[in-house]
Structure 1
Amino acid sequence: MQQTTGSKAKENRKVGFVLLAIVLCGAAAWWLFFRGDEPANAHVPPAGVAVVVEASPVRIDSIIDEVKAIGTLRSEDSIVLRPEISGRVVALGFKEGQPVRKGQVLVTLDASIHQAELAQAEASLTLSRANNARAAELLARGAASKRTGDETLAKMQMDEASVALARARLSKTRILAPFDGVAGLRKIAVGDYVSPGQDLVALDVIDPIKLEFRVPELYMAQVKVGQAVRFDMDALPGRGFEGIVYAVDPQVDVDGRSLAIRARADNQDRLLRPGLFARVSLTLARHDEAMLIPEEAIVPQGTDHFVYRILDGKAAMTQIGTGIRRDNMVEVLSGLTPGDKVVTAGQLKLHDGAAVSIRTPPAP
């Protein structure tokens, strides 16, 4: 009985040792493959083994700092012609949608009454001038009083004013174009009776044409008169247009916190029309001799930017100053020189001073 009990105890100890060994092996395996304190450079090749990376040279090219906006085309000048007197329309001197010249008669009103009034005023003026001349002659001989001379002179001056008034009223029967432009759609026809202030026809100057748009107040210090503007429109796909900023609103819109800007563009073929929607790119600055590197070459650390520069087959971690970012390219302001090569892929396996081997990236 005692021998049987001792054998069982030995077997239990053996099983315990086996289980303990299994647990220790499992813990060791977990520590090797799933430990959480693995250093960041655990996969860095041993010293002396080159890390395969992709690299790109610093490129010298132009880069543009621009801001995108939405705009609307406006007429250079736009008015609606309206009569100053009432009358019946007797003639129209323009065609809708066609150019007109400054001084061209666009609308003629019936002038018969005003012509009669002018003739009456001129006849009265003729008589008052004769009376004033006789009174002056008699006054010179002492045959008339000073009062008579003053009365005839005042009557002549009143008749002169009446003639001027009649001529002014007569001139209002002919409505002229105040500037070169394009006539809009007329709102009247021959025979219509019009009243003062009634809309007759719009007149627009569309060459040159204005582009009005807004940018956030953030760009206020960068916006200047004379900057270039590029724009295109959904109504004219595939066409691009250019203009120049000529005015910046001195006030910032308090509702949208935006700044209104106006540019002017040539429109000799009259292809652009007021009211069209435009997609605008305002050029804030242009750097023609900028150092550019791909955006993927940058290794950010906090607020600083670094790159791995390749020197004598080794990676040198270099801090850089950055400028404009456009089309996956970044302008380098400091830290690099033209001709330097920077790592664009494989940075996670690098450390400062690591040996590198440049691999040619696959063709796209």
Structure 2
Amino acid sequence: MIGKRGASGVFRMRKSIVALGALAASAGLAYVGTTTDTGRDILARFSANEASAQAPAANERGPAAPPPVETAQARVQQSRLEIRSVGTLASDESVTLAAEVAGRVAEIRFAEGTGVQEGDVLVKLDDSLIRAELADAQARRKLAEANYARANSLSQSGIGTARARDEAVANLAIARAAEELAQVRLDKCYIRAPFSGVMGLRQVSSGAYVQAGAAIANLEKIDTLKLDFRLPENNLADVKTGQNVDVIVDALPGKTFSAQIYAIDPQVDVNGRSLRIRARMPNQEGLLRPGLFARINVIGADRGEVVVIPEAAVVPRGSEVFVFKIVDNKAVEVGVELGERRSGEVEITRGLAPGDMVIVSGHNRARDGRPVDIIAQQQRTS
């Protein structure tokens, strides 16, 4: 048998074991709770470590390469005043041929679209009736001449009276007038070219009966052409007779023609406040036609030296324009003011100096103050 002391020792040992077990269980629960509560922190530390690992790889690529651009140099050239307008070409002479007397069209002696010479008979009307009237008038004139000669002889011999002589003189004048009238009517049966030119399309056929005033065809003189155009009244001091004009016709792309101002209307059009101007231009080759639309550049006085750049360098932004100037291999945005434009170039009245380099290709990649890679420079040989 176990004594009291032995039993008490065993009891105390069991109590200690239970206490230790409870402590261990409590510690275990505490560990589990701690692990669960700090999971988010572990994920955050993991993500941060991943980002740290990737950062050096990104830094190894370095900054973006400068964008490639093409440039051109601002240069100086002589400038002259140029005034642009639009106009219309017209025949040097133009007429619509018409019958002056009524009659049947007997002959048409021209071909449409062909050249004719001044005085050529173009259309003949039936003249049989008028020829008969002319023959009658000629016979009456001869009779009147004979009567006059007889009356004049009798008057000089003292046999005839002065009255008989006067009547003979009057009758002769009437007969001659009738003959001339018949001759004129006969001549008007022949419609002639009033000047050398090119025939248009005819509006009558052979055998047709036409009234006096009926249109036959148009005749155009086109070896030289007129150019009619207008300029604003504030250009009055800039234009004068003898001034040269460059002409471009849309119907003949790539060609430039020359004209010269020969007339300026003395009256300003009060409706449009414009000057009516007429120039003359040669057309010996017959390339141009009356009625063509023309783009006009009036060449004015010299204006001295100006700075010019290619039009491709200009970048519009709203109501303003600017260019990218190259400074230390960087694109610098510079506002400019434009002048005249011509042949793919534009005058710069403010903002650039001769020799400045500007970007002409690659604006969309350039940024103000950022480096650029100049891969080519445009050269102008003329």
TM-score norm. by structure 2 comes to 0.63
- Find 1:130's aligned residue among 146, 149, 170: 146
Name 2:126's counterpart in structure 1: 110
Contact between 2:117 and 2:195, CA under 8 Å: does it hold in 1?
yes
Q: Is the 8 A contact 2:74 2:357 kept in 1?
A: no
Tell me the secondary structure at the aligned position of residue 255 of structure 2: strand
Greater share of residues in helix: 2
User: Which residue, 272, 282, 285 being the options, matches 2:298?
Assistant: 282
Q: In the alignment, which of 190, 207, 212 is matched to residue 223 of structure 2?
A: 207
The alignment status of 1:170 with 2:186, answered yes or no, reads yes
Contact 1:56 1:293 in 2 (8 A): no
What residue is the counterpart of 2:100 in the other structure?
84
Is the partner of 1:209 in helix, strand or coil?
Answer: strand
Indicate whether 1:222 and 2:238 are aligned: yes
Tell me which of 197, 209, 213 is aligned to 2:213. Answer: 197
In 1, the alpha carbon distance for the partners of 2:255 and 2:73 equals 35
Which deviations, in whole Å up to 9, do the C-alpha atoms of 1:216-275 show, x marking residues without a partner? 111111111111111112211112111111111112222222111111111111110011
Q: Which structure has the larger Rg over C-alpha atoms?
A: 2
Residue 291 of structure 1 aligns with which residue?
305
Residue 162 (structure 2) aligns with:
146
Letter in 1 for 2:119: G
How big is the shift at 1:56? Answer: 7.4
Q: Distance in 1 between matches of 2:252 and 2:218?
A: 25
Q: Indicate which of 279, 284, 289 corresponds to 1:273.
A: 289
In structure 2, runs of 5+ residues without a counterpart are 1-70, 311-336, 359-373, 378-382
Which residue of structure 1 lines up, in the alignment, with residue 48 of structure 2? none
Aligned to 1:36: none
Query: Do structure 1's residue 329 and structure 2's residue 343 form an aligned pair?
Result: no
Aligned partners of 2:75 and 2:355 also within 8 Å: no
In the TM superposition, residue 331 of structure 1 has moved relative to its aligned partner by: 7.8
Match of 1:182 among 188, 198, 207: 198
Distance in structure 2 (CA, Å) of the matches to 1:201 and 1:268: 23
Work out whether residues 325 and 331 of structure 1, in 8 Å CA contact, stay in contact via their aligned partners in 2: no
Would the aligned equivalents of 1:55 and 1:342 in 2 still touch at CA under 8 Å? no
Report sequence identity in percent: 43
* C-alpha distance in 2 between matches for 1:55 and 1:169: 76
Residue type of the alignment partner of 2:108: L
Three-state SS of the structure 2 residue aligned to 1:241 is: strand
Shift of 1:172: 0.6
How big is the shift at 1:294?
4.7
- Count of equivalent residues: 262
2:230 is the alignment partner of 1:253: no
CA distance in structure 2 between the aligned counterparts of 1:231 and 1:342, rounded to whole angstroms:
31
Q: CA deviation at 1:64?
A: 2.4
Q: 1:271 to 1:213 in 2, by over 3 A?
A: same
One-letter code of the match for 1:162? A
Q: In 2, are the aligned partners of 1:66 and 1:281 still within 8 Å (CA)?
A: yes
Q: Deviation of residue 198 (structure 1)?
A: 0.6
Give the secondary structure class of the aligned counterpart of 2:122. strand
User: Which 5+ residue runs of structure 1 have no aligned equivalent?
Assistant: 1-53, 297-321, 333-340, 347-360
Distance 2:152 2:277 in 1: 66
Q: Following the alignment from structure 1 to structure 2, what is the Cα–Cα distance between the partners of residues 183 and 150?
A: 52
Cα distance in 1 for partners of 2:192, 2:228 equals: 29
Alignment RMSD (CA, Å): 2.8
The 1:157–1:221 alpha-carbon spacing in structure 2 relative to 1, beyond 3 Å, is same
Task: State the alpha-carbon separation in 1 of the partners of residues 355 and 281 from structure 2.
Answer: 44
8 Å Cα contact 1:73-1:212 kept in structure 2: yes
Deviation at 1:152, TM superposition (A): 1.2
Q: Distance in 2 between matches of 1:57 and 1:234?
A: 31
Q: Is the Cα–Cα contact under 8 Å of residues 114 and 166 in structure 1 kept in the other structure?
A: yes
State the distance in 1 between where 2:298 and 2:346 align: 19
In structure 2, what residue type is equivalent to 1:212? D
Q: 1:258 to 1:196 in 2, by over 3 A?
A: same
Structure 1 length-normalised TM:
0.66
**Amino acid paired to 1:291:** E
